Amino acid sequence: MTNPLLVDLTGAASLLAISRRRAAELVYSGELPSVKIGRCRRIAVADLETFVDGLRENKGAPLGGTDSQPALAVVGRGRYETKAVRGR
């Protein structure tokens, strides 16, 4: 079997080792690109790899934020919420 080019939200969540809900939040906030095929939303495996590479390059940035990327605040056990970064 060949490796898929696209995965659904559940597959993306599994590959990123996060919840399906968190994967959906990343997609609908625009942090993780996706495509629609009919009524189905899919994420390119290449975009998942780019997303992870971006996390590696911005060590600590997801919680602290940068000018181009909003900060994430811990709102519960293992849950994060995007917040605006002001004054940066």
Best CA proximity match to 8, nearest among 32, 78, 53: 32
Best CA proximity match to 82, nearest among 45, 32, 41: 32
pLDDT tens, position by position, 3-46: 899 999 999 999 999 999 999 999 999 999 999 999 999 999 99
The answer to whether residues 53 and 69 belong to one domain is no
The pLDDT value given to residue 68: 53
The domain that holds 20 is classified in CATH as 1.10.1660
Q: Cα–chain-centroid distance for residue 34?
A: 10
Share of the chain above pLDDT 70, in %: 65
The answer to whether residues 36 and 64 belong to one domain is no
Q: Report the pLDDT averaged over residues 54-59.
A: 83
The pLDDT value given to residue 13: 96
Q: Distance between CA atoms of 32 and 41, rounded to whole angstroms?
A: 12
pLDDT-based confidence at residue 64 (cuts at 50, 70, 90): very low
Q: Distance between CA atoms of 30 and 36, rounded to whole angstroms?
A: 14
> Token match 């519960």: residue?
76
Q: Which residues form the domain of 27?
A: 1-57
The answer to whether residues 50 and 81 belong to one domain is no
